Chains A and B, each alone.
Chain A
């Protein structure tokens, strides 16, 4: 029907008809896909959200005497230098040595874009051609040769939503998840999301010119973990940092998870035929994602339900009777501004479409990691003969048991051996100091428990997170079937068990 060249001609003449992906569904519904394809030339799409898989290639130029730069730090954030001398790649999620999660690779990229001074420190082993072993200097974006973003996994078509069924708060890459399914976090811009408007991957591909954080960037090709079979496509992008707009590139910290780069991407979809018109008429209510329970620290988490983007954007999602507040981790407002800006570029003849050189793969699969070892569950390392005490026991009795059995903590159980609390030797010490007599006054009632099939690594993380030395292992009914201590886990890691 239409070609990219036809559309570019219209852009040149100022007659190209551009509508946003939020406007297209009504047009197609009112006038049919055929008529819409004749009338509309370009559908603008956009997204703005956390894109961890982003980073910046830099070339610093050579020092005198020259240095190979084997290891480098920018504002104490390490960059990868396993390429040619004085080239480096700084990834968004690399954390700083001095400020941890407060400041990372994403912040270095943002600081450079804002024209700020960045401290550069490098070391090397010294060669005949690169004799220098150390250097420390301060640079801005104007001092480097190249500074381009190269992002291996951007612009996910859509993303699964997250909630938390446990009784403890979780800090994840999907944001903060409150206990008891109180909230639900999701990502993406639904019907406005670029790849949702090209679900058969016929339009967007290698060489597609895009809006990348306010610059004209390009699609390099499929992204890492590109998963077309599940409608989880993504792209690798490239663009010049110098041309970007800080409004569409922001460094952030996801609480207790790490640093990330919030990026804005806009993709123009040329309406070449009726099918493309139909595809770009997709509505939020037709785009579904699965809500997963992140309280299970395993690769396959339990799915709670499917939910569409219309419901997600409403701000409230019913999770089997519990009303969870839904928060987006992407900004629909900024995504709309990107779509508008892209439209302005086109109408001002500043942006022309490109023909893709190669489409995104339609048949690749996303495999899990090949593991050379089997997952070990804590039931393998736990002590099955658990020393317990009853709620009614005196502190003195528990004290004796602690000493006699040589343990540091005792789970407190009822007559059916169901967990009611836990008492540590430190609790006993405090009780003695303050003159408390009853066990239920001093025991911790909100016990961090584990189930027998949990992986050792997950339990190890749990102990570390809560700063505790042991976790009672309970079955589905809360009956104590074992206990795992830090030393059990350490023994396992050392190969003792």
Chain B
């Protein structure tokens, strides 16, 4: 899944841009985060499929005046700092964080959608988002 950040402006935040794009491209889009006011806003989406599918969708969004930026940031787990408490596990919306059989914290990077819920919750700053 490719992740993108869409920025809405005054001109298009009242328009049903997302549904138009989905109808046109028939893409499967997963809304990961949305904070849209009537005059501006951002939305983070995951586009299901390969790079070619994603490109098509991005093009369509740009046609309607949205700013599109690919999120290439990666989650990082500092195993030296981590104390395997698991405070992050229940907060992860995609089950990217889990315990292994020995109750050691495991991170599956591919599942991460950079929501940062775990970054804030980690008591010892063992989790971070890096570019």
Given contacts A176-B120, A262-B123, 15 further A-B contacts (CB under 8 A): A175-B87, A175-B121, A183-B90, A185-B90, A250-B124, A254-B123, A256-B120, A262-B124, A325-B89, A327-B89, A327-B90, A328-B87, A329-B87, A332-B84, A434-B38
Query: In the complex, what distance in Å separates the CA atom of A334 from the CA atom of B99?
Result: 13
- Identify which of B84, B98, B125 contacts A331 (C-beta below 8 A): B84
Query: In the complex, what distance in Å separates the CA atom of A176 from the CA atom of B87?
Result: 8
Most buried by B among A50, A254, A327: A327
Which of B's residues lie within 8 Å of A, judged by CB? 10, 14, 38-39, 83-92, 98-99, 102-104, 117, 120-121, 123-125
Given A183-B90, A254-B123, A262–B39 Cβ distance below 8 Å?
no
Whether B89 and A252, one on each chain, are in contact in the complex, defined by CB atoms closer than 8 angstroms, is no
Given A434-B10, A434-B39, A262–B89 Cβ distance below 8 Å?
no
Which of A's residues lie within 8 Å of B, judged by CB? 48-50, 175-176, 178, 182-185, 250-256, 260, 262, 315, 324-334, 336, 430-431, 434, 436, 441-442
Query: In the complex, what distance in Å separates the CA atom of A316 from the CA atom of B87?
Result: 14
Query: In the complex, what distance in Å separates the CA atom of A431 from the CA atom of B38?
Result: 9
Whether A333 and B84, one on each chain, are in contact in the complex, defined by CB atoms closer than 8 angstroms, is yes
Given A176-B117, A434-B39, A327–B124 Cβ distance below 8 Å?
no
- Shortest distance from the beta carbon of B69 to any chain A beta carbon, whole Å: 24
- Shortest distance from the beta carbon of A314 to any chain B beta carbon, whole Å: 11
Q: Could you say which residues of chain A place their CB within 8 Å of the CB of B98? A: 315
Closest B residue, CB atoms, query A262? B83
The 9 closest A-B pairs by CB, nearest first: A252-B123, A183-B90, A327-B90, A325-B90, A333-B84, A333-B103, A332-B103, A331-B85, A327-B89
Query: In the complex, what distance in Å separates the CA atom of A271 from the CA atom of B79?
Result: 37
Whether B85 and A328, one on each chain, are in contact in the complex, defined by CB atoms closer than 8 angstroms, is yes
Closest A residue, CB atoms, query B120? A255
Most buried by B among A50, A253, A324: A253
- Shortest distance from the beta carbon of A495 to any chain B beta carbon, whole Å: 39
Sample of 9 A–B contacts (CB below 8 Å): A183-B90, A185-B87, A185-B90, A250-B123, A255-B121, A326-B90, A332-B103, A334-B84, A441-B14
Query: In the complex, what distance in Å separates the CA atom of A442 from the CA atom of B98?
Result: 41
Whether B38 and A436, one on each chain, are in contact in the complex, defined by CB atoms closer than 8 angstroms, is yes
- Identify which of A253, A325, A326, A331 contacts B83 (C-beta below 8 A): A331
Closest B residue, CB atoms, query A163? B90
Closest B residue, CB atoms, query A169? B117
Query: In the complex, what distance in Å separates the CA atom of A384 from the CA atom of B22?
Result: 47
- Shortest distance from the beta carbon of B121 to any chain A beta carbon, whole Å: 5
- Shortest distance from the beta carbon of B41 to any chain A beta carbon, whole Å: 13
Whether B99 and A315, one on each chain, are in contact in the complex, defined by CB atoms closer than 8 angstroms, is yes
Query: In the complex, what distance in Å separates the CA atom of A325 from the CA atom of B91?
Result: 8
Query: In the complex, what distance in Å separates the CA atom of A182 from the CA atom of B117?
Result: 13
- Identify which of A178, A250, A262, A332 contacts B91 (C-beta below 8 A): A178
- Shortest distance from the beta carbon of A200 to any chain B beta carbon, whole Å: 29
Closest B residue, CB atoms, query A434? B39
Closest A residue, CB atoms, query B124? A252
Most buried by A among B10, B84, B85: B85
Q: Could you say which residues of chain B place their CB within 8 Å of the CB of A260? A: 123
- Shortest distance from the beta carbon of A478 to any chain B beta carbon, whole Å: 23
Query: In the complex, what distance in Å separates the CA atom of A253 from the CA atom of B120?
Result: 9
Q: Could you say which residues of chain A place their CB within 8 Å of the CB of B123? A: 50, 250, 252-255, 260, 262
Query: In the complex, what distance in Å separates the CA atom of A334 from the CA atom of B87?
Result: 14
Q: Could you say which residues of chain A place their CB within 8 Å of the CB of B125? A: 253
Query: In the complex, what distance in Å separates the CA atom of A255 from the CA atom of B99?
Result: 21
Query: In the complex, what distance in Å separates the CA atom of A361 from the CA atom of B21?
Result: 68
- Identify which of A250, A334, A441 contacts B38 (C-beta below 8 A): A441
Whether A250 and B83, one on each chain, are in contact in the complex, defined by CB atoms closer than 8 angstroms, is yes
Whether B14 and A49, one on each chain, are in contact in the complex, defined by CB atoms closer than 8 angstroms, is no
Q: Could you say which residues of chain B place their CB within 8 Å of the CB of A182? A: 90
Whether A176 and B10, one on each chain, are in contact in the complex, defined by CB atoms closer than 8 angstroms, is no
Closest B residue, CB atoms, query A185? B90
Whether A329 and B85, one on each chain, are in contact in the complex, defined by CB atoms closer than 8 angstroms, is yes
Query: In the complex, what distance in Å separates the CA atom of A252 from the CA atom of B125?
Result: 8
Query: In the complex, what distance in Å separates the CA atom of A336 from the CA atom of B103?
Result: 10
Closest B residue, CB atoms, query A317? B90
Query: In the complex, what distance in Å separates the CA atom of A474 from the CA atom of B10?
Result: 33
- Identify which of A327, A434, A441, A442 contacts B86 (C-beta below 8 A): A327
- Identify which of B39, B87, B90 contacts A430 (C-beta below 8 A): B39
Query: In the complex, what distance in Å separates the CA atom of A327 from the CA atom of B92?
Result: 10
- Shortest distance from the beta carbon of A51 to any chain B beta carbon, whole Å: 12
Q: Could you say which residues of chain B place their CB within 8 Å of the CB of A436? A: 14, 38
Closest A residue, CB atoms, query B97? A327
- Shortest distance from the beta carbon of B20 to any chain A beta carbon, whole Å: 19
- Identify which of B10, B90, B104 contacts A333 (C-beta below 8 A): B104
